């Protein structure tokens, strides 16, 4: 197990390094640069370029960036010149994280319940309902869900605030919009895996021991069926986080997603790099944690690795 | 003598027979064909064009003159929807097919030959897999410039990885089986083994994968167009129409709801078809009713 974790951590570090390098050179390939502004005189421009070290060869800039990064310095934003990249991330990330966690909790809890209920009542009305929810959920992109919810609950019926992020009632619509897709896929996976587990020998054994249906489902079936859901949690966190890109702009939430898209279009090199790195590392860590937890939770994986 | 037999059906006949029985999948297939035909034909038989503005008919609801109403600059939504459909559907199809081919070739080679090539490619795949694909897609679009072709290229830079992993695993499993060994013993060249024995065995699952990948690609296109990194005027796509409409959500919601309806029903149809195909090509269910 320790060897496995060690290998995974090394792989994660290499991935992060590749990510930084690829993004560093990709941003430089973008047409235009952060100082494309007709108001700047050539002298100011030159000063700015030397201030940010753009007059040096690219490889030196890369080296400097990496050294600063190792010291924990993300540099200054090139558009909001008086702010550090780390500062902007620190300001905006809490909003995205808050929204993301709310919708994840919503999606996973309801998704699991739907999947379990529908598998337990296979072929009945409630199963049909859950399957329809799952198919609909995976067919509606989150920005459309956002727009529809905003129109229905916010504008037409005036039940909930339409935009901004200032209190609990403001979080409901964006969190629901973001959660729907994940909810649907979690319930779909959970249903399929519950049905598969139901025909396994250990369930038959439990039944022949005379255990009650509730105990069989709760203690044996769910515990085993939840594994496939856990494997998709890494990518799910990724999709929820990137989903916030659009949901934030629809609901005018001052989070990180909107800033990311803006800084890409502004050619704000240091912001793009810093935020990409932040997203990337965050997701890589999520995947790592999920994989390790998976090993811990499933004895078969644990023994297989030894 | 009593004979117990069933009519001999080829794999594809059997799959098609089972797909036909699946009502949801047939509904999906019909809808997709319908949307495809409408995208090709509808703009040709309309008196309007996709960028023709009419200041006297802004943000109108559905009427006999404008079947799906007009947008905020008086452009006819019926024509725009189907012109956007051409872009959205073809981007989805092309990106998914390219990803499938690239992934299948690389994954197939790795799985069949193994060895150093396999090790190196798999390390690269593992690393790419860890990087959030959307970030790379956004950056590549920025480097190549906006438009339809850059969008497809950007979606293909990392999109092949899923197929590659899946095909590699399948090929790895199949090449260990006896019929491949038999072919090798008979001295059949590798190329022929791959084309005649291995590919037919994974084709069903590949097609299912393709069908599931198209909605993903359409979704991604809509997302990128929505954040302003996708298709640029005069071209439009369903994502662009949604984005243009959202500013007028309060007063004329049909400008968002109509394109949203077509995006959702397309994704729904493809999902249903994909589910049906998955069941139809599953060898475990072969010959069952």
Chains A–B, number of C-beta pairs less than 8 Å apart: 108
Q: Give chain A's domain count.
A: 2
Q: How many beta carbons lie within 10 A of that of residue B241, not counting itself?
A: 28
Query: Could you give the maximum distance between any two Cα atoms of chain A, in Å?
Result: 86
A151 & A30 share domain:
no
Is the Cβ of A269 closer than 8 Å to some Cβ of chain B?
Answer: no
Residue of chain B nearest A10, judged by CA positions: B127
Alpha-carbon gap, residue B136 to B142, rounded angstroms:
10
Alpha-carbon gap, residue B285 to B17, rounded angstroms:
12
Q: Say which residues have a Cβ less than 8 Å from residue A36's Cβ, sequence separation at least 6.
A: A267
The answer to whether the CB of A99 falls within 8 A of the CB of A156 is no
Alpha-carbon gap, residue A117 to A121, rounded angstroms:
6
Helix (H, G, I), strand (E, B) or coil at A76: strand
Is the Cβ of A10 closer than 8 Å to some Cβ of chain B?
Answer: no
Residue A86 in domain: no
Is the Cβ of B9 closer than 8 Å to some Cβ of chain A?
Answer: no
A108 & A149 share domain:
yes
ipTM over 0.90 threshold: no
Is the Cβ of A232 closer than 8 Å to some Cβ of chain B?
Answer: no
Question: What pLDDT was estimated at residue B76?
Answer: 80
Q: What mean pLDDT do residues A258-275 have? A: 79
Domain residues for the domain of A289 are 92-301
Residue A286 in domain: yes
A124 & A193 share domain:
yes
Inter-chain CB proximity A26 and B143 less than 8 Å: yes
- Of the candidates A65, A86, A53, the one whose C-alpha atom is nearest the C-alpha of residue A17 is A65
A273 & A137 share domain:
yes
* Element at A81 (helix H, strand E): none
pLDDT digits (tens, 9 = 90+) for A107-162: 999 999 999 988 888 888 888 888 888 888 888 888 888 888 888 887 778 777 77
Residue A76 in domain: no
A66 & A96 share domain:
no
**pLDDT over 80 (residue A71):** no
* Element at A80 (helix H, strand E): none
- List helix spans (H) across A156-268: 168-198, 201-208, 213-215, 222-231, 233-250, 256-265
Question: What is the distance of C-alpha A143 from the center of its chain?
Answer: 15
A63 & A97 share domain:
no
- Of the candidates A278, A264, A276, the one whose C-alpha atom is nearest the C-alpha of residue A79 is A264
A64 & A96 share domain:
no
Q: How many beta carbons lie within 10 A of that of residue A29, not counting itself?
A: 11
Instruction: Choose the closest CB to A150 out of B249, B264, B265.
Output: B249
A103 & A147 share domain:
yes
Residues on chain A touching B257 (C-beta within 8 angstroms): 148, 151
The answer to whether the CB of A272 falls within 8 A of the CB of A259 is no
Residue A77 in domain: no
The answer to whether the CB of B50 falls within 8 A of the CB of B83 is yes
Residue A117 in domain: yes
**Could you tell me the pTM of the whole model?**
0.80
Q: How many beta carbons lie within 10 A of that of residue B135, not counting itself?
A: 25
Alpha-carbon gap, residue A256 to A90, rounded angstroms:
9
- Identify the CATH number of the domain in which residue A239 sits: 1.10.3720.10
A100 & A36 share domain:
no
Helix (H, G, I), strand (E, B) or coil at B70: strand
pLDDT by residue for chain B (289 residues), tens only, comes to 566 766 677 777 878 888 888 888 899 999 999 999 999 888 888 777 777 777 777 777 777 777 777 777 778 888 888 988 888 899 889 999 999 999 988 988 888 888 888 888 888 887 777 777 777 888 888 888 778 888 888 888 888 888 888 888 888 888 888 888 898 899 888 888 888 888 888 888 888 888 888 888 888 888 888 777 778 777 888 888 888 888 787 778 888 888 888 988 998 898 888 888 888 877 666 555 4
A238 & A121 share domain:
yes
Inter-chain CB proximity A27 and B242 less than 8 Å: no
A290 & A148 share domain:
yes
The answer to whether the CB of A301 falls within 8 A of the CB of A231 is no
A118 & A24 share domain:
no
Alpha-carbon gap, residue B160 to B153, rounded angstroms:
11
Residue A225 in domain: yes
DSSP secondary structure letter of residue B45: G
pLDDT digits (tens, 9 = 90+) for A210-234: 888 888 888 888 888 888 888 778 7
Alpha-carbon gap, residue A216 to A207, rounded angstroms:
7
Alpha-carbon gap, residue A26 to A21, rounded angstroms:
8
Question: ∠ CA A178-A181-A184 to the nearest 5 degrees?
Answer: 135
Residue A199 in domain: yes
Inter-chain CB proximity A15 and B130 less than 8 Å: yes
Residue of chain A nearest B129, judged by CA positions: A15
Residue A84 in domain: no
The answer to whether the CB of B276 falls within 8 A of the CB of B24 is yes
Tokens of A210: 């005379």
């Amino acid at each position: 197990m320790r060897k496995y974790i060690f290998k995974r951590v090394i792989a994660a570090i290499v991935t992060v390094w590749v990510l930084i390098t690829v993004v560093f050179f990709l941003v430089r390939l973008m047409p235009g640069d952060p100082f494309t502004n007709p108001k700047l005189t050539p002298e100011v421009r030159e000063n700015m370029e030397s201030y940010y070290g753009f007059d040096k060869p690219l490889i030196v800039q890369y080296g400097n960036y990496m050294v600063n990064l190792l010291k924990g310095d993300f540099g200054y934003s090139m558009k909001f010149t008086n702010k550090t990249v780390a500062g902007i991330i620190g300001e905006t990330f809490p909003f995205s994280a808050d929204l993301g966690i709310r919708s994840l909790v919503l999606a996973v809890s309801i998704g699991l319940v739907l999947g379990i209920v529908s598998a337990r009542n296979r072929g009945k009305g409630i199963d049909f309902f859950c399957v329809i929810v799952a198919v609909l959920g995976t067919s509606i992109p989150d920005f459309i869900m956002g727009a529809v919810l905003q129109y229905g609950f916010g504008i037409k019926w005036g039940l909930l605030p339409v935009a901004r992020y200032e209190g609990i009632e403001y979080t409901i619509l964006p969190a629901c919009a973001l959660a729907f897709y994940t909810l649907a896929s979690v319930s779909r996976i959970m249903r399929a895996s519950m049905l598969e587990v139901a025909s396994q020998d250990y369930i038959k054994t439990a039944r022949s021991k005379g255990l009650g249906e509730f105990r069989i489902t709760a203690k044996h079936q769910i515990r085993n069926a939840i594994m496939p859901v856990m494997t998709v949690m890494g990518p799910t966190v990724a999709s929820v986080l990137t989903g916030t890109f659009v949901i934030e702009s629809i609901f005018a939430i001052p989070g990180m997603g909107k800033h990311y898209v803006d800084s890409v279009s502004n050619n704000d090199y240091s912001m793009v790099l810093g935020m990409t790195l932040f997203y990337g590392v965050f997701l890589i860590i999520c995947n790592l944690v999920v994989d390790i937890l998976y090993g811990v939770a499933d004895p078969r994986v644990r023994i297989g690795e030894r | 003598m009593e004979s117990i037999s069933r009519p001999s059906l080829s794999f594809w006949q059997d799959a098609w027979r089972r797909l036909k029985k699946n009502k949801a999948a047939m509904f999906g297939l019909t809808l997709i064909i319908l949307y495809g035909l409408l995208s090709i034909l509808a703009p040709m038989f309309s008196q309007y064009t996709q960028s023709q503005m009419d200041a006297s008919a802004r943000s109108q609801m559905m009427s006999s003159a404008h079947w799906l109403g007009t947008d905020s600059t008086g452009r006819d939504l019926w024509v725009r929807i189907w012109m956007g459909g051409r872009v959205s559907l073809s981007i989805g199809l092309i990106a998914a097919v390219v990803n499938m081919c690239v992934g299948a070739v690389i994954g197939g080679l790795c799985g069949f030959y193994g060895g150093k090539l396999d090790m190196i490619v798999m390390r690269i795949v593992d690393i790419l897999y860890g990087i959030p694909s959307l970030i790379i897609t956004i950056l590549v679009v920025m480097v190549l410039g906006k438009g339809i072709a850059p969008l497809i290229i950007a979606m293909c830079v990392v999109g092949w990885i899923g197929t590659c992993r899946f095909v590699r695993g399948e090929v790895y499993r199949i090449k260990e089986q006896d019929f491949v060994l038999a072919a090798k013993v008979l001295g059949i060249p590798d190329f022929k083994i791959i084309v005649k024995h291995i590919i037919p065995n994974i084709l069903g699952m590949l097609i299912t994968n393709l069908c599931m990948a198209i909605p993903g690609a359409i979704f991604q296109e809509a997302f990128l167009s929505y954040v302003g990194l996708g298709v640029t005027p005069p071209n439009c796509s369903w994502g662009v129409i949604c984005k243009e409409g959202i500013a007028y959500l309060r007063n004329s919601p049909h400008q968002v709801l109509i394109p949203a309806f077509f995006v959702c029903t397309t994704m729904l149809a493809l999902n249903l078809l994909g589910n049906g195909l998955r069941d139809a090509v599953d060898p475990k269910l072969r010959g069952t009713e």
